[in-house]
Amino acid sequence: MKNISQLFCFFFFAFIFNVKAQTGISVSPPRLYFESGPGISNTEKITVTNVSAKNSLDLAVSLGDWEYDVKGENQMHPANSLPTSCAGWITIKKEDTYFSLAPGERRDIEMTITSPTLQKDNLPAHTALLYVSQMNPVEDVDSKGANIKVSIRSGIKIFHKKPNITKKKIEITDLKFDATKKTLTLNFENQAEIWVDGKVTTDILNAGNGKKTALSPIVFYTMPGNKREMEITLPSSLEKGKYTASLLIDYGDAENLEMGELNFSYE
């Protein structure tokens, strides 16, 4: 009897997943952004491609909700379960909710979002998640030669905001050094009414010899009201001494760059 395990793969971004039999789907774009007032409908197109070399795929389209946790990780939820959900505003043609693709075949799916005339909340930004799920697992072999069944699901993030809301605001709430973990812990908050994405750059200055060390930028994504805790790992080659850490949060607004500074001893 064959030892067959089930392999389930899920990605939030447009991707191509390949194993030995080149089983996979590509879904693009990875994110859709909408802006409309009450009662207005907007339609965008999603392209789904079967990149498998030999397997036909049966695919189903469904909706869900998502949010970020304090670390910036994606958390998935059932559709219409979050206060920020716009899953109930989305319509997809019936023939596009379940379909089959031959190897190499692709299909365009139209997704329409209609902002309600009478909105239940006063939130300026809403989100949802569109899933494309493989319904017919296919047999394959993993890197160790074990028989597996591969089933893939991809998700596209949906963003909607009211018109004329553009102001962005990120504020640092805390910055400290963890001597045990040898990391800097940065806490910041999205105080805007819309999503704010950006990067954190960090420079470490040795107060004793003036040597400056630039750390690799860290990209972040936030939604309104998100509080974020980010750990910044210091280089293992850092010498003992007194340091000043200078952090810059760049979120695409040249007039509003958030900066923080911390003095600490590295032993």
Summarize pLDDT for 31-70 with one digit per residue, the tens.
999 999 999 999 999 999 999 888 899 999 999 999 999 9
* Nearest to 247, CA basis, from 163, 195, 181, 171: 171
Tokens 């790992």 belong to 233
Residue ranges and CATH numbers for the domains of the chain are 7-161 (2.60.40.10), 170-266 (2.60.40.10)
| Cβ–Cβ < 8 Å for 67, 224 | no
Answer for the pair 203, 211: CB distance below 8 angstroms, yes or no.
no
How many Cα atoms occupy the beta-carbon half-sphere of 103 within 13 Å? 8
Q: Distance (Å, rounded) from C-alpha 97 to C-alpha 151?
A: 17
| Res 99: pLDDT | 96
DSSP SS3 for 89 = helix
Considering only residues 147 and 260, tell me which one the structure prediction assigns the higher pLDDT.
Answer: 260
Specify whether the CB–CB gap between 67 and 128 falls below 8 A.
Answer: no
Predicted structure pTM score? 0.85
pLDDT digits over 183-241, tens only?
999 999 999 999 999 999 999 999 999 999 999 999 999 999 999 999 999 999 999 99
Neighbours of 30 (CB within 10 A): 14
